[in-house]
């Protein structure tokens, strides 16, 4: 009985009231772009300038990363949501939360000069 009480107390202590934020490293080639992270049609974070880290709440939806820099065409990429590996810690927290791939690099294409 005492072991069950201790285990319940440990589980309650490990269960956060809110999910922890996930870090997503955003880079562009070349660096110096402004990027907006969008989930479900809503902006949720920015990285300006790149490279930098965005902190986002975990969720089941993918995140679109839209980057722009003067002299370059806009670049768009997707960071996919995924379930983490099942572990004792995730079981104590009530099951796995979604997470995201930890980094993304977007190549920027120079805009061609208009023909004169």
pLDDT digits (tens, 9 = 90+) for 42-101: 999 999 999 999 999 998 999 999 999 999 999 999 999 987 665 555 555 554 467 888
112 pLDDT band (50/70/90 cuts)? Answer: confident
In the prediction, which pLDDT does 79 show? 95
Q: Which residue has the higher pLDDT, 54 or 115?
A: 54
In whole angstroms, give the CA distance from residue 55 to residue 40: 16
In the prediction, which pLDDT does 84 show? 63
Residue 107 above 90 pLDDT? yes
Class of domain 2-107: mainly beta
Residues counted in the chain: 116
In whole angstroms, give the CA distance from residue 34 to residue 49: 5
Q: Report the half-sphere exposure of 66 (CA within 13 A, side-chain side).
A: 8
In the prediction, which pLDDT does 29 show? 98
In the prediction, which pLDDT does 9 show? 47
Compute the radius of gyration of the chain from its Cα atoms.
20
In the prediction, which pLDDT does 62 show? 95
Residue 16 above 90 pLDDT? no
């Amino acid at each position: 009985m005492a072991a069950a009480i201790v285990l319940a107390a440990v589980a309650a202590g490990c269960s956060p009231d809110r999910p922890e934020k996930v870090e997503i490293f955003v880079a562009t080639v070349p660096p110096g772009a402004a990027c907006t992270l969008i989930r479900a049609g809503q902006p949720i974070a920015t990285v300006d300038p790149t490279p930098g880290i965005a902190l986002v709440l975990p969720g089941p939806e993918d995140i679109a990363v839209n980057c722009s820099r003067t002299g370059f065409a806009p670049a768009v990429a997707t960071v996919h949501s995924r379930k983490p590996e099942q572990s004792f810690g995730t079981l104590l927290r009530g099951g796995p939360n979604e997470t995201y791939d930890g980094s993304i690099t977007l190549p920027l294409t120079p805009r061609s000069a208009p023909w004169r």
